[in-house]
């Protein structure tokens, strides 16, 4: 192994202990949900945002509020409703009668961690208010543009059950989410532990493990994880296969739109984070495969024919992984 990669691996093994320390605190409150924790930390390390889909009661809100406590960062929960206005998210100008000027009233988006709860319950105009914040990490109120805190992390949730009174997210906003994660029901043993912890009068809490500066340093280190050209080629082939399935031996007509270049970027960043969490200084193909479903499921738009056949984005991602050659 190259000396530089060996050095990176040694550093990664040491620094990943911080991630384990965060996870230990997280586990004091949240039972199970290891995949959710890994995806949340992966997004934070990659300066990205998460879209979560799951039924109510699976501790999505508790997960992000707990993580904000562990990382000693600000947290705001925004409940999206059909009557919301963009100003309810980013803020507005309020006339001050005593001074005769307009004062800035900053919205709840001005924090480190934002939970956009049931984001698809608000119309597209309101959802789009998050676009500038998510992509540019800035918010414009009136004629002035304000920088958001660093780190800045949005976790949006969708309820897959109720479709009445919901508004599908615009494709442009879907693509801005680093990953889309499905949150599943806990196992029997996990649910028993949930009852033991939460059914009493004393609810467990987590302690601060690190601060914002340490997270920024970890993020800078994660960027240094080595990804060989063969890994980059593998990622590009996976994304291109979603756009040109016939070229990779996949049946045509089922994928209407494939992944954008944002998908390729997310693949590399997520794979680097996975390698880092595993204590390695280099990316392997298994890291790419491990994040493929979460990176692609919201970026692959199926055709009417695919939906008529009962296919899902996950079915198509499975075909991509089976048909694209592994380096």
Per-residue pLDDT tens over the stretch 252-299? 788 888 888 999 999 999 999 999 999 898 999 999 999 999 999 998
Residue found by looking up tokens 């990205």 in the block: 48
Give the mean model confidence (pLDDT) for residues 132-155. 87
Reply yes or no on whether the pLDDT at 42 is more than 90. yes
Architecture of the domain delimited by 225-323: Orthogonal Bundle (1.10)
Q: What pLDDT score does 288 carry? A: 93
Confidence band (pLDDT; 50, 70, 90) for 313?
confident
Query: CATH classification of 24-212, choosing from 3.40.50.300, 3.40.640.10, 3.40.50.1970, 3.40.50.970?
Result: 3.40.50.300
| Segment 35-64 mean pLDDT | 87
pLDDT band at 162 (very low <50, low <70, confident <90, very high): low
Residue 236: pLDDT over 90? yes
Residue 16: C-alpha distances to residues 26, 45, 151, 172, 289 (Å): 15, 12, 19, 34, 21
The stretch 158-179 carries a mean pLDDT of 74
| pLDDT score, position 307 | 84
Q: Which residues pair with 182 in a beta bridge?
A: 53
Is 60:165 a contact under the CB 8 Å cutoff?
no
Mean pLDDT of 302-313: 85
The predicted-structure confidence for 97-137, as pLDDT tens digits, reads as follows: 888 788 888 889 999 999 998 888 888 778 777 877 888 88
Q: What is the mean pLDDT of residues 209-224?
A: 89
How much is the pLDDT for 269?
94
Mean pLDDT, rounded, for 291-319:
88
Tell me the residue length of the chain.
Answer: 327
Averaged pLDDT of the chain: 86
Burial of 67 from C-beta contacts in 10 A (0-12 / 13-18 / 19+): buried
Q: What is the pLDDT of residues 68-77, one digit of tens each?
A: 999 989 999 9
φ/ψ of residue 142, rounded to 5: 65, -125
Domain definitions of the chain by residue range: 24-212, 225-323
Q: What angle is formed at CA 299 by the lines to CA 296 and CA 304, rounded to 5 degrees? A: 115
- Read off the pLDDT of each residue in 219-232 and give the average, rounded to a whole number: 91
Which pLDDT does position 296 carry in this prediction? 92
43-55: average pLDDT: 89
- Residue 308 CB: number of other CB atoms within 10 A? 9
SS3 for 164-175 is CCCCCCCHHHHH
Q: In this structure, are residues 228 and 247 in contact, taking their beta carbons and an 8 Å threshold?
A: no
Cite the DSSP H helix spans in the chain: 3-29, 34-45, 60-70, 87-90, 124-127, 129-136, 171-175, 188-198, 212-224, 229-243, 261-277, 285-296, 304-308, 313-323
Burial 172-209, CB ≥16 within 10 A → b, else e: ebebbbbbbbebeebeeeeeeebeeeeeeeeeeebeeb
Task: State residue 165's pLDDT score.
Answer: 58
For residue 163, pLDDT beyond 70: no
pLDDT more than 70, % of the chain: 97
Judged against a pLDDT cut of 80, whether residue 160 lies above it is answered with: no
- pLDDT value at position 75? 92
- Helix then strand then coil, % of the chain, to nearest 5: 50, 15, 35
Band (1; pLDDT cuts 50, 70, 90): low
**Exposed (0-12), middle (13-18) or buried (19+): which is 73, by Cβ within 10 Å?**
buried
Q: Say which residue, 162 or 171, is predicted with more confidence.
A: 171
């Amino acid at each position: 192994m190259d000396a530089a990669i060996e050095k990176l691996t040694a550093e990664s093994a040491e620094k990943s202990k911080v991630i384990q320390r965060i996870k230990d605190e997280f586990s004091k409150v949240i039972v199970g949900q290891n995949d959710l924790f890994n995806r949340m930390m992966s997004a934070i390390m990659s300066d990205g945002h998460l879209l979560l889909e799951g039924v109510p009661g699976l501790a999505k809100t508790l997960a992000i509020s707990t993580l904000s406590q562990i990382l000693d960062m600000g947290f705001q929960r925004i409940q999206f409703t059909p009557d919301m206005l963009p100003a309810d998210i980013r803020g507005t100008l309020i006339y001050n009668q005593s001074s005769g000027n307009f004062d800035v009233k900053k919205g709840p988006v001005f924090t480190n961690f934002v939970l956009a709860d049931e984001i698809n319950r608000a119309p597209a105009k309101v959802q789009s208010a998050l676009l500038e914040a998510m992509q540019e990490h800035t918010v414009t109120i009136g004629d002035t543009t304000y920088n958001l805190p660093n780190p800045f992390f949005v976790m949006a949730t969708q309820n897959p059950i109720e479709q009445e009174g919901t508004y599908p997210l615009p494709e442009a906003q879907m693509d801005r989410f680093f990953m889309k994660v499905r949150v599943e029901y806990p196992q029997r043993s996990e649910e028993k532990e949930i009852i033991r912890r939460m059914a009493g009068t004393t609810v467990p809490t987590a302690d601060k493990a690190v601060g914002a500066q340490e997270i920024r340093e970890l993020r800078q280190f994660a960027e240094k994880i080595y990804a060989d050209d063969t890994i980059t080629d593998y990622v590009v082939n996976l994304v291109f296969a979603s756009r040109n399935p016939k070229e990779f031996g996949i049946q045509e007509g089922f994928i209407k739109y494939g992944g954008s270049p944002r998908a390729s970027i997310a693949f590399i960043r997520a794979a680097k984070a996975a390698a880092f969490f595993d204590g390695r200084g280099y990316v392997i193909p298994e890291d790419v495969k491990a994040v493929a479903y979460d990176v692609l499921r919201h970026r692959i738009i199926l055709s009417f024919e695919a939906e008529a056949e009962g296919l899902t984005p996950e079915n198509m991602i499975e075909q991509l992984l089976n048909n694209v050659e592994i380096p």
